[in-house]
Amino acid sequence: MEYKKNDYVTVKIEDIGTEGEGIGKIDGFTLFVKDAVVGDLVEAKILKPKKNYAYARLEKVLEPSPFRVTPKCTFYRQCGGCQLQSLSYEKQLEFKQQKIRNNLIRIGGFAPEYVDERMEPIVSMEEPFYYRNKAQYPVGTDKNGEIITGFYAGRTHDIIANTECHLGVPENKEILEIILDYMKQSGVTAYDEATGQGLVRHVLIRKGFTSGELMVCLVINQKVTRVSRVDKARNVGNGSVSGAKGSTMGEFLPAQSRLLERLAKVDGMTSVSVSINTEKTNVIMGKEIHTLWGEPTISDTIHVRDMQKEGYPFTGDELVFKISPLSFYQVNPVQTEKLYSLALEYAGLTGQETVWDLYCGIGTISLFLAKKAGQVYGVEIVPQAIEDARENAKRNNIDNATFFVGKAEEVLPEFYEKGGEDTMLHPGVIVVDPPRKGCDEACLSTMLKMQPERIVYVSCDSATLARDLKILSEGGYEVKKVRGVDQFGMTVHCETVVLLSQLRQKPDDYIDVDVDVAELGGTSAETKATYEKIKKYVAEHNDGMKVSSLYIAQVKRKCGIELAENFNLPKSADARQPQCPKDKEEAIMEAFKAYKMV
């Protein structure tokens, strides 16, 4: 049967798509139905018919699925921000676990049994609502010219008027209503994307979950026009705008003090600022920030958790971070503690390792690692984030973390090509936490040349994760552990942490042979001289010296000990390969002698 646009069909939903849409089939014809839940029997209207499939709109739920729940949000379907809010949370976790698994198999090319052996249960949320510590609300007008704020409808820039998002903190509603009321009373205009006119574009709200501190930043379409003498200063201790008489303040908003007086009374209010953005762009924040009242930053604390114990209790270690309007900081602080603690666990640090943290942001993961590592190097493209990282290191009395500004795919290769300290060029661990697009090819290539013992990959997109894991596996690494962390309840998004360890040899270098030890004249000591044994011997007899498998292989060659060709070589024949330093060669030779290999 051929289906046409606007046809109505009845279909049983049997699966969930990657974007949370329900999937059903009629006589082999596949339908993707937004807002339908697996297990539903629904009536749907076909919107975009193709040859073998069609996109359809949910019209009516004829028989609800046992996994269907009543959404908290009235605007759930129009908004599109919570793709899974009508699906039970237990089923959401199952969907996310399966999504990670499917991507590793389909995109990464890993065998299903290989993935199943390595996947650990997803880390769930205790409270899958009210978890976001940051929200950005567009400001505009409705059809009647009334000033509104809320969120964009799915795939549009039409604002759905809503001051109560159930993913954000309760204080958001109070703050937004104060701002809307102020704008209406003071004649402050909302920004119009079509004309580029109007003053207030967005409202950013951030909250420190541990500190309870609140930040409000209004993004405005106007530079400061004058500096006025005001009688009330910015800093208060009791919630009212009062202070040193005669201080100066930029007059960025009409009747600015009226707004500040009201915001200052909100419990926890710590910072009020404006961000100047006069560009016709979809980028929300401008680069110029002016503090109108209070502090330029708020603080929050991230606690280290024991991910091996039930309930993931605090270990007692913690880090305090200062957060500015432009700071990158994970939006779910409770789950972030679990995410970073898991990355720390996978890193397996002993206190001696050199670690590179790529895409480090304001240094959250870097500083987690620094407390357990010998030295940490962080790389981030945003200069302000690196400034924040350095300040956060000082704030937490950490002196073994160094940060560099630049693209990871440029900074890392540049360091490697220039040469330098062996520990920098051949670290014990590399941690990557890239944006949704994953790691750049140049970055992955350099990581393989640097030959770290372990790689910890933190991903916000399991599709690009799977692609990158395939490259790293082909380059001589084995996936050891995979675990999802649900950072974004009610949505299709999920974080994933993966541990990779360096193989002694690439998979293609192995061949199956039958060996008679007696014929080879091998001793029991010689047959036990694995790479790990040699590394352990070198460390124990040389004050913790670390040597890589590559260095051991190079010394074996010099001694005429046969091993598979192209052991851990880079893909290209002319690629630079690090050579074993003299002191490490001597230490490895001593280990060979101890095991009677030479």
Residues with a known catalytic role: 460
Residue 41 and residue 67: Cα distance in Å, rounded?
12
Q: Which of 435, 489, 478, 431 is nearest to 456 (CA)?
A: 431
At position 12, the amino acid (one-letter code) is K
Residue 588 and residue 598: Cα distance in Å, rounded?
11
Contact predicate 46/4, CB 8 Å: yes
Distances (CA, A) of 289 to 159, 164, 196, 222, 410: 25, 26, 20, 12, 29
> Where do the H-state alpha helices sit in 61-127?
76-79, 89-106, 112-118
Q: Which of 173, 184, 110 is nearest to 145 (CA)?
A: 184
Residue 216 and residue 124: Cα distance in Å, rounded?
30
Taking the alpha carbons of 262, 263, 269, 274 in that order, is the dihedral positive or negative?
negative
Joined together, the tokens standing for residue 564 give 């598979």
Q: Which of 360, 304, 376 is nearest to 336 (CA)?
A: 304
Strands 477-485 and 119-123: parallel
Contact predicate 405/386, CB 8 Å: yes
Q: How many other CB atoms are found less than 10 A from the CB of residue 324?
A: 23
| Strands, E assignment, 124-226 | 134-141, 147-152, 159-161, 200-207, 214-220
* Total H helices, total E strands in the chain: 17, 24
At position 61, the amino acid (one-letter code) is V
Question: How far is Cα of residue 283 from the mean position of the Cα atoms in its chain?
Answer: 20
Q: Which of 499, 97, 80, 135 is nearest to 332 (CA)?
A: 135
Collapsing DSSP states into helix, strand and coil, what is residue 71?
A: coil
At position 322, the amino acid (one-letter code) is K
> In sequence order, what are the beta bridge partners of 147?
141
Residue 119 and residue 105: Cα distance in Å, rounded?
12
